[in-house]
Amino acid sequence: MEGSESEAVFDGLNLNPQLFCNEVLNNVDDMLDEAFDFFYQDASTKLNIEDTQRSQDLKKGVDCIRQSVQSVLDKQLAAWENYILRHCFALPRGFRMPNTDESNENGLDLGALFDPDIDAQLDSLREKLAEVGKESEMLNQEIQALERKSTGNAGYINEAVQLCEQNSMHELFQEMVTTASELGMKMGKLNSNKIEETEQMKTKRIYSTEMDLSAINPAKGLSKVKLDDLEEFASVMKIPLAVGCCAISTLVNQQNELQSIRLIHKTLKLASQQLSHAMTRENSSSTCCNSHFMT
């Protein structure tokens, strides 16, 4: 198709192929200039040769490279321009743009291409999509608020757990002090009973003339007391000390204060029970000895 006819068709479509090609070529030239300018500035900065003779030499070298690249690129772009004008913007012979009068004569209704119902449905869908987007944004905000609230509640729960552990530790410590006090009282009472029993034995030994001396001889001990009872009493008296040493060692090795205090508390209770058992055994032995002296 001749050039004048093609230009008339493109003018009717408000399109100029040559103007399009010129804009593309100008954009390529601008990008090439910016690239080489950046290359020159960056090289000057890194080589620290600004405002020197070496900077001028670098400028000449960069311009030489630019001219070489520009020459090759111009040839390639000229071939591209020729191809696009000959093939992409070429119109077949006899091509004519349809006009409105001919379309009406052929029974083609351009308004039939647009359906108001479809447009209304599209508008409705767009509105629904916008509403869904707003709801989604609100839900995301609520989720973030709930996450912040959950984080705050977790902090409060941790504080409450720490307070409970501290209170529990304080109660265990108070109970441990009470148990230790009771243990001290029982040990004092046991010592008092031993002293009182010793004094009674001394008094009876002085005033009794018919008593068997072997029963009160300190070198031989009480003949009526069984050896098993004495060994059991000795082992019972050793248990609190051994368990206490074990508890102290465990307290040093363990890093959890609450577990350590619970272990000491358990140890003191065990020692108190052992001491009560020992006192009961001692009272029974004293009763047997008194009965022996009376007989």
Say how many residues make up the chain. Answer: 295
Range with the largest mean pLDDT of 51-65, 181-195, 200-214: 51-65
Cα distance between residue 94 and residue 11, in whole Å: 17
Q: Find the mean pLDDT for residues 79-89.
A: 87
Check whether 282 has a pLDDT greater than 90: no
pLDDT at 182: 80
pLDDT band at 126 (very low <50, low <70, confident <90, very high): very high
How far is CA 138 from each of CA 125, 146, 147, 150, 252, rounded to the nearest angstrom?
Answer: 20, 12, 14, 18, 56
Lookup: tokens for 87: 């093939």
CB 225 within 8 A of CB 288: yes
pLDDT at 142: 92
pLDDT at 220: 44
DSSP 68-90: HHHHHHHHHHHHHHHHIIIIIT-
Lookup: tokens for 207: 């005033």
Kind plus residue range of the DSSP H or E element containing 97: none
Model pLDDT for residues 219-234, shown as the tens digit of each residue: 444 444 455 655 555 5
Model pLDDT for residues 227-262, shown as the tens digit of each residue: 565 555 555 455 444 545 554 454 444 445 556 666
Question: Is the sign of the CA dihedral 146, 151, 156, 160 positive or negative?
Answer: positive
Q: For the stretch 244-283, what's the b/e string if a residue is b when 16 or more beta carbons lie within 10 angstroms of its beta carbon?
A: eeebeeeeeeeeeeeebbebbbebbebbbebbeebbeebe
C-beta atoms surrounding 183 within 10 Å: 19
Helix orientation angle between 257-294 and 227-253, rounded to the nearest 10 degrees: 170
CB 17 within 8 A of CB 58: no
Check whether 52 has a pLDDT greater than 90: no
How far is CA 271 from each of CA 52, 174, 177, 183, 231, rounded to the nearest angstrom?
Answer: 94, 17, 13, 7, 17
Q: What is the pTM of this model?
A: 0.32
Check whether 291 has a pLDDT greater than 60: no
DSSP annotation of 6: H
pLDDT band at 40 (very low <50, low <70, confident <90, very high): confident
Model pLDDT for residues 4-25, shown as the tens digit of each residue: 566 667 777 777 888 889 999 9
Mean pLDDT value across the chain? 72
Cα distance between residue 220 and residue 210, in whole Å: 18
